[in-house]
Every structure is written in structure tokens, then in C-alpha cells.
Amino acid sequence: MSAALDIAQHALREGLSRVVDDYRPGYHIAPLVGWMNDPNGVVYFRGEYHVFYQHHPFDAKWGPMYWGHAKSADLVHWQHLPIALAPGDDFDRDGCFSGSAVVCGDTLALIYTGHTWLGEVGDERSIRQVQCLATSTDGIRFVKHGAVIETAPQDTIMHFRDPKVWQEDDCWYLIAGARLGDVPLLPLYRSTDLHTWEFLDYVSSGSEGDGYMWECPDLFRLNGRDVLLYSPQGMQPEGYERLNKYQTGYRVGQLDSEWHFTGGPFIELDNGHDFYAAQTLVAADGRRLLWAWLDMWESPMPSQAHHWCGMLGLPRELELHGDRLCVYPARELTALRKAPLPGTPWWDESGTRCVPQVNGDMLEIHVHLDLRGCSDGHLGIALRCSDDDHEETLLYYDALLRRLVLDRSRSGAQVTGQRSVSIDPTQERLELRVFLDRSSIEVFDEHGRFSFSSRLYPRPDSLGVKLFASGSGGRVSIPKAWPLASGWL
């Protein structure tokens, strides 16, 4: 593998001179050069957080998958590490697909899917996917041990990937995504040494309307309940729900003694345009943290012309309240804040008010919406506004629909469309935390009830912020805001 890794590292060094940084995020994980998609192993090892990711270092488009690698001591300041895995062996000849990372004694272990095209490259009807193991004693250089699960539970399963591994008592458990015809399955395995695995049963399977493949499954416990997190392919839109090509969401329930999961309905974890393939880890202090790919398949990706593509979302904390996951930006992110910017008083007039003191492409903005008396019209904030009024990203409450809307119809190159979430009619106030990076927006409800994650591609000089209101009643303010520092060491 060392020769393949050397070639890949050389491609990264050579590619740096061609990269254009206009859209490059300042405090999110993104590749130096080339393509990025799913977060793979997210793990805490020897006092540091490691995030691996699907990576193609030779082109800004999807190709044979490598594992990119970054680490951080504080979840805020990151550094790139050498590429961890390269395809090329018989068991992973055409790609080291997604998987997970665990700590086993003094060793960091990567469990991933080895992908092989048996026929023409790109022909999904003729593939072989096996689950593989690689280990490292220093967290940087990895030794492959080959395939540790060489066959799917049934011979007719070809799609069999994305292993997530965790330890419970004295055993390791592995859940993966599988597809039998157009039925999604989640096989569960057990091991004592990460090398030899025993198939237990299918944790869950899909039925009509559940899609044909559940990618990147994750199964964990919060507050005494089991949470099944996965990314279905093939679910159909319904009303305001499931508008992206694919989704990421969860079900809350219980895993019984026979290894079967029984749970509630599928709930989307994020309501934005770009959020997929989420994976969790347990932080040093016991919190459940989550990362996701901040893009979506078959979406506009203007940075490909700049010789890089893809980024990950901010690390998020998960809490379970009843039957719903609540999502918060990781508390460590406050370390990115520079000197605070002056806020604004309440704006309750019809029209638009510029906020010249809050300006930039790397910002954290707290937005408060007082909905009392707001019976019609829109109430909200415009971000990444251009001086010529051609570009803006809108975040507003639609009083007639009773929905909070993220509108990127004028958010820059190629992107368009709205996403929204329902707001309880009894709710009188919305308190939002908005994170802007150079080509993204992430919006969090202060109480964890929802989030929006979307890519934006405005011009570098589209930096303005405005408050706006139409209709009757309601008011909006920015009580706090900060410019944010770079997250890269």
C-alpha cells in the first residue's frame, strides 16, 4: 500500500498549485485537493479526535475511494494527516469504501468496505463488497489485514457496505447496510477480536416506501433507548419532507434480546439541502457527537472547477428528548469566536434594514424572532448579500405557512430551492444560531429541535446582512454575532 499512498500524496502536493480557494471553508473539514464525501471513521484516540473521510485525491469528482484523514485535540483546530488507506489489493482493488474506526487496546483499527467491480466499471449489477480491517499503532500509518467478512449473509446480496463497529461488554458488534433486490437490510455481526465475525441476524429491514438501500447505519444508546441512524436511498418526497435525493434520519426504539430493532417512524435529522452519511462517536466526556457530509449526490458542486470538492458539517452534540433527537453545535466551537460584533435592537417595521456592523463570510450570528402578532408575511434575515442586490440567502418565518424557511434561490452559483420546517403555532419566539462559512450555512434551533445544513456559492464580495419584515406583527433582532477564526493549524 505504501507505493499507492506515496503516489496519492504526490498528487495532493502537485494539485495544490491549481486549487482556487474562493469557496474553501475556513473552519470546516475539507480536502486539500480532490474529492470528499462520507465521514468514515470518527474516533477519539490518545487524546485526539480523528476524522477519516472518503477521498479521491486525483480529481475533484468521485473515483476510486481512498481514506483522507484529519485530527484535532479540541474539535475546533484541525490538521491534515497523510492519506490513511489506498485501494489496490485484491479485496479493495476499486475502492476503500466507507466504514468506521475503533480503539482496541493501544491500536487504532479501521473497518471498511473493500469494493471491486466484477464487470464494467460503474455497473452496479456486478460488484463485490467485503468488510476489511486495517490497524495502526501510531494513528497515522496503517497495515491492512484483508477481508474479515468475505460474504454477505445471503448469496444474492451484492450491495453490502458501510460497517459501523462498537464495543459492548467483551464483544465487538458490527452493523452494515445491505440490499437484497430492492429491500434494504441491516445485518448485525459479533466478534471478540475484530478478525473473526459471527452473523447474528438482521437488526431491521425495509418495507414499502422505505427505499431500496440504507447506507451508513449506526446503532447506539441514549437515555436508555436505542437509536438507529441511517441514510436511506429511494424514499419518495412527501409534502415538505424528504426533498433531497437521499436523506439521513433516525428511528428511536429498542433492540430486543433476539437482535431485532423495533422503533418509531423515520425522522429526518436535518432539514437543509445538503446533509448525508452521518456517523457518531462517543466523546472523551461521554457526549454523543455526529459528523455528516455537507453535500448531496447529484447536487451542484461549483468548486469542482476549482480542483477540490466536498466538506463535512460541524461536529454536533446529540441528546434524546422523548422520541426525538435534539441537535446542537458542539460546545467547543465557541473557541472560534473573535471579538464580538455589535448586535441590533428589535426591528418591527415593514421593509429592510441593513446591518453594516455584521458583515463577512465566516460568522456566527444569533437571530431572535418574536412571532407574537405575526399573522401574515415574512420575518427574518438576509445573509451573504451583495451590494448590487443580486445575491442573498434568506432565513425567515412564513406566518401563513407557519414554517421557518431557508431560501437559497439567490445564493450564488448554480444552487437554488427552499427547505423549511414546521413551527408550532403556540410558539411565540424562535432563537437561532447561524454559522456561515465561505460556501455553507448551518442553522440550529437554540433548543435543538431542528437544523438546516446547506451549501451556498455566493461571490466572495457578497458579505452583507439585513433584517427584513413584511406583513403585520412580529419583530426580529441580532442580539449577538462574532466573526470566526480559521479552524486550521
Which tens digits make up the pLDDT trace of 163-187? 999 999 999 999 999 999 999 999 9
Q: Are residues 329 and 374 in the same domain?
A: no
285 annotated active-site:
no
Query: Which is catalytic among the residues 6, 21, 22, 38?
Result: 38
pTM: 0.97
pLDDT for residue 2: 84
Instruction: Inform me whether the pLDDT recorded for 124 exceeds 90.
Output: no
Does the residue 381 lie in any domain? yes
pLDDT for residue 391: 98
User: Which of the four pLDDT bands, split at 50, 70 and 90, describes residue 352?
Assistant: very high
Q: How far apart are CA 290 and CA 267, in angstroms?
A: 16
Does the residue 90 lie in any domain? yes
Does the residue 317 lie in any domain? yes
The count of structural domains within the chain is 2
Per-residue pLDDT tens digits for 258-298: 999 999 999 999 999 999 999 999 999 999 999 999 999 99
pLDDT for residue 1: 66
Q: How far apart are CA 80 and CA 95, in angstroms?
A: 21
pLDDT for residue 185: 98
Q: Are residues 309 and 350 in the same domain?
A: no
Q: Are residues 273 and 402 in the same domain?
A: no
Spatial CA neighbour of 397 closest among 457, 445, 464, 326: 445
Per-residue pLDDT tens digits for 11-67: 999 999 999 999 999 999 999 999 999 999 999 999 999 999 999 999 999 999 999
Q: Are residues 312 and 360 in the same domain?
A: no
Per-residue pLDDT tens digits for 293-315: 999 999 999 999 999 999 999 99
Does the residue 319 lie in any domain? yes
Does the residue 196 lie in any domain? yes
User: Which of the four pLDDT bands, split at 50, 70 and 90, describes residue 121?
Assistant: confident
Q: Give the end of a domain, one of 293, 314, 333.
A: 333
Q: Are residues 298 and 384 in the same domain?
A: no
Q: Are residues 297 and 435 in the same domain?
A: no
448-475 mean pLDDT? 96
Domain hosting 424: range is: 337-483
Exposure string over 42-80, b if 16+ CB within 10 A, otherwise e: bbbbeeebbbbbbbbbbbbeebbbbbbbbbbeebbbbeb
Q: Give the end of a domain, one of 267, 299, 333.
A: 333
Q: Which DSSP letter does residue 306 get?
A: G
pLDDT for residue 122: 79
Residue 137's CATH number: 2.115.10.20
Q: Are residues 343 and 320 in the same domain?
A: no
Residue 460's CATH number: 2.60.120.560
Does the residue 489 lie in any domain? no
pLDDT for residue 65: 98
Instruction: Inform me whether the pLDDT recorded for 471 exceeds 90.
Output: no
Q: Which DSSP letter does residue 235 get?
A: P
Does the residue 387 lie in any domain? yes
> Is the Cβ–Cβ distance between 323 and 252 less than 8 Å?
yes
pLDDT for residue 33: 98
101-128 mean pLDDT? 92
Q: Are residues 319 and 362 in the same domain?
A: no
Per-residue pLDDT tens digits for 185-197: 999 999 999 999 9
Does the residue 380 lie in any domain? yes
Q: Are residues 308 and 361 in the same domain?
A: no
Mean pLDDT of the chain: 97
Q: Are residues 82 and 198 in the same domain?
A: yes
Q: Give the end of a domain, one of 333, 348, 368.
A: 333
Instruction: Inform me whether the pLDDT recorded for 114 exceeds 90.
Output: yes
Q: Are residues 200 and 82 in the same domain?
A: yes
> Is the Cβ–Cβ distance between 296 and 246 less than 8 Å?
yes
CA dihedral 413, 416, 421, 422 (to 10 degrees): 140
Q: Are residues 209 and 239 in the same domain?
A: yes
pLDDT for residue 296: 98
